[in-house]
Amino acid sequence: MTPRRPKNYVLAAIAYLILFFLLAPLTIVIPVSLTAGNVPSFPPQGLSLRWYHEFFADREWMRALWISFTLGIVVAITSTVTGLCAAFAMSRLVPDSLKPLLRVIVLAPLIVPAIVGAIAMFLMLSQLRLVSTFPGLVICHTILALPYTIIVLENGLLHLDASLEEAARTLGANRFMRLRRIVLPLMLPSIVGSAVFAFITSFDEIVAVLLVGGASYQTLPVKMFVFLENELKPTPAVVSSLLVVGLLAAQGASYLVRGALERRRRMPQLAAA
């Protein structure tokens, strides 16, 4: 083992400073949500669960939370299924000469400014009479989430061992059986990752919801935005704290699932050894 050079310590210190800079706001939001005062303050004016109780007792906040979760789950399903079909087409059916052009088209929602894309989707959905409707929001958020799902799923397909499918084909498995028994189980981490990306994209979107959702469908970020315009209370800090805890729990669950899948994958190898 070679001793560490001085510059490695400098790089490590810079990395920890950047990490602290990214996580510092989270260490402030949670104490602010526990304040006993009437306005957000740090350090908090005493500790209390008062604002958590008010958040869960408020029907408007609960409705916004329900809309956000329902919309996120539906968008995660639609964008993952659509993205999986598109990833299969791009990786196996499209000629190599056309793949760069298709990737540019796929990434277009990420390149176009958010307000421009939201106006374009508003004009399109207004022609279909889907503005201020739940299906209109699903279509809008699915379009925004598709670039992430296609990128993740195509990358998973490219790293898939083609010899496994070839072996199944030689043993008589048809295309549907190979997809169900070989491809999809091996693609499970990529499918779950793409669904998580789609859910987060939908849950965090605010510009498109303001134009397409209207007053009928206020998601949680839109509710927070409107609330901060009119009132100064720690309730948005409560929402932020709950989202942080939820994301940390989801991240921990993903590590557990990944570890279980990895152990399951190694069991045949250990049994053969």
pLDDT at position 235? 81
CATH number at residue 145: 1.10.3720.10
Q: Nearest Cα to 87, choosing from 171, 239, 79?
A: 79
When the pLDDT of each residue in the chain is averaged and rounded to a whole number, the result is: 79
Q: Would residue 64 count as lying in a domain?
A: yes
Residue 187 confidence (pLDDT): 77
Decide if pLDDT at 25 tops 60: yes
Q: Is the peptide bond before 43 cis (omega within 30 degrees of 0)?
A: yes
Going from the C-alpha of 119 to that of each of 77, 124, 153, 207, 208, the distances in angstroms are: 25, 9, 28, 9, 8
pLDDT at position 7 is: 56
| Count of other CB atoms within 10 angstroms of residue 61 | 19
pLDDT > 90? residue 74: yes
Per the CB < 8 A criterion, the answer to whether 240 and 227 are in contact is no
pLDDT at 248 over 80: no
| Residue 80 within a domain | yes
Residue 16 placed within a domain: no
**Residues paired with residue 47 on neighbouring β-strands, in sequence order:** 35
pLDDT band at 151 (very low <50, low <70, confident <90, very high): confident
User: What domain range includes position 91?
Assistant: 42-232
Q: Is residue 47 part of a domain?
A: yes
User: Which of 122, 117, 120 minimizes the C-alpha distance to 214?
Assistant: 122
Rounded CA gap, 107 and 148, in Å? 8
Asked, for residue 28, whether it belongs to a domain, the answer is: no
Query: Measuring CA to CA, how many Å separate 183 from each of 150, 177, 254?
Result: 16, 9, 20
Residues 99-119 have a mean pLDDT of 81
pLDDT, tens only, 157-175: 777 766 666 676 676 666 6
Rounded to the nearest 5°, which phi and psi values hold at 209? Answer: -65, -35
pLDDT band of residue 78 (cuts 50, 70, 90) is: very high
Residue 264: inside a domain, yes or no?
no
Q: Is the per-residue pLDDT at 1 higher than 60?
A: no
Here the tokens at position 60 are 């408007």
Q: What does the pLDDT average to over 114-139?
A: 85
Per-residue pLDDT for 190 more than 90? no
Decide if 198 is inside a domain: yes
